[in-house]
Structure 1
């Protein structure tokens, strides 16, 4: 068995090791957190580069033209999810920083490790990958609008658009362009083909490294404010329970194939905590609690994803009886 196959079969264990190491560093060496935080953007960009390389662009273009799935992904994430989030957050205390952190992460669909977890559950990872640019552009427009609607214009005006634009260009557009250039190089050069093959075993370890960097850099914030942010944990858990059921219903109404229904479930429930975190860190000092609220969602979601990779293919969206 080659390294890539070995890693794919044991990827959940690899991610668990990354999280465990991050907790160890965050607790034992909190002084290194600022230095580790500087690695978030480059590590995330590299993760997406090797992830995009996994899907040939010929198939990616074909997947992007799947109008039913794209309509389902955009409609569920930007019409249904805001209603669900609004209802779930009604019991939360009226603390702007707490609410902003929760809204920022829950209103933004994931564009990175959702691809991995979709694949683990037997979903159509190509469709999720194809939807990534559209989902990120849509949240760039929708997030300020929903923050204005949910918490008022004063809070919404504190959200700078520049970090979101930079996140799109550096974390999504640049890796996507480099992956396309790499595929073109691999088609014309043996050296390019060797490079692409070598990159093929990196998605799993790079996701583990990304989780390590995010959690190790932010764990101190979570520990210092656990009493204030504990209230959002039930909201995050409820979201993990409600949205898979909603997405399954939407997929059935759109009459999507099984693999696409599973993909719709994961793109509807997995949130964009890794990309949103730099935006939360850029908020004014009055919202310094927001990054800890975002990272708390990451910790809750990872446990939920491990569960959903088993629940979705076995019970929620199983293969039809033959």
Structure 2
């Protein structure tokens, strides 16, 4: 047993109220609402689409407020696992994602870029709730959140340069400034606010604020999706056949990352709580943050954003099924013990 198996969870996570098929229904409803608004009233759709900046800023603020930097301390208790998870998420998974995106969408640069961006960014929020439900190591998982967040923001232009510069969809030279102004500075501001409120407010009041932030993130994400589809439904509708291909590519990506995680868990003889955590962190993707980053870094490209949203639709049912698979493993081992 490792130290992290006995440590208290530094960031308690209730089972997500909008997880699994509930979140999928919310996102599908947002797509449908945006599409209906855009088709019935193109002018209203354009107005909604033009107002995405405030929604983006709110989403970024909520995501960054949730990050607990102090949780990184727990990671020092198991640097071995942290290195395995970081290498899987930021070295192996991007190569898998590039291979699958190239196989299916090499001739469609916008959709290729969107799918690649979805693939390369590990989740920094709801994966921990699924890890808890699968009886995984949430103390160690909480330490991954800030590391994953900072790593993917810093590596975002690197991955685009390595894997997508041939598409010509982004001004790579401008992306570092965009990340600094829209994300790294807000990250520092949100963390400063988090620190101040945690010190000034009673523990119960601050906990209620944290719960509200966690509940608000999928709702704000849904609002952003409505705005994206309301203003761009015509462009999206012209490429419906390609989205079916994207669904197949995402399914194969989830299979490949699961097999990768299984192989790493066996190679390094990880205990079950860490196996479950590795499975969840390499399966869940950070679509809300990538929607925000990409909408700012690569503006006026709705197909890229739509590809990211399609990934979100598949992800929640996949995480729910993965949770059940892992729990079945636990029950089977218990029966054999």
- With the shorter chain as reference, the TM-score category is 0.7 to 0.9
TM alignment of 1:153-302, pairs within 5 A: 155=168, 158-159=171-172, 160-166=175-181, 168-169=183-184, 172-185=187-200, 191-199=201-209, 201-202=211-212, 205-220=215-230, 221=232, 223-224=236-237, 225-283=239-297, 287-302=301-316
Unaligned runs of 5+ in 1: 186-190
> What CA distance in whole angstroms lies between the structure 2 residues aligned with 1:239 and 1:151?
18
Structure 1 residue 67, shift from structure 2 partner: 0.5
Structure 1 residue 236, shift from structure 2 partner: 0.8
> What CA distance in whole angstroms lies between the structure 2 residues aligned with 1:217 and 1:170?
25
Structure 1 residue 243, shift from structure 2 partner: 0.7
Structure 1 residue 316, shift from structure 2 partner: 8.7
2:116 to 84, 103, 114: 103
Structure 1 residue 200, shift from structure 2 partner: 5.2
Change beyond 3 A, Cα 1:155–1:17: closer
Structure 1 residue 269, shift from structure 2 partner: 1.6
Say if 2:320 is the partner of 1:306. yes
Residue equivalent to 2:33: 25
Say if 2:58 is the partner of 1:42. yes
> What CA distance in whole angstroms lies between the structure 1 residues aligned with 2:281 and 2:226?
25
Larger CA deviation: 126-135 vs 98-107 = 126-135
> What CA distance in whole angstroms lies between the structure 2 residues aligned with 1:174 and 1:134?
17
Asked if the contact 1:15/1:207 (under 8 Å) is kept, the reply is: no
Change beyond 3 A, Cα 1:113–1:167: farther
Residue equivalent to 1:15: 23
Asked if the contact 1:312/1:318 (under 8 Å) is kept, the reply is: no
Change beyond 3 A, Cα 1:9–1:274: closer
Change beyond 3 A, Cα 1:72–1:17: same
Instruction: Calculate the aligned-residue CA RMSD, in Å.
Output: 3.3
> What CA distance in whole angstroms lies between the structure 2 residues aligned with 1:261 and 1:285?
38
TM alignment of 1:70-81, pairs within 5 A: 70-81=82-93
Give the TM-score normalised by the residue count of structure 1. 0.79
- 2:88 aligned counterpart, secondary structure: helix
Q: CA offsets per residue over residues 125-178 of structure 1, 9 Å max, x none?
A: 332331223223333343333333333367386231233334543664444443
Change beyond 3 A, Cα 1:200–1:173: same
> What CA distance in whole angstroms lies between the structure 2 residues aligned with 1:115 and 1:180?
21
- 1:38 aligned counterpart, secondary structure: helix
Aligned residues: 308
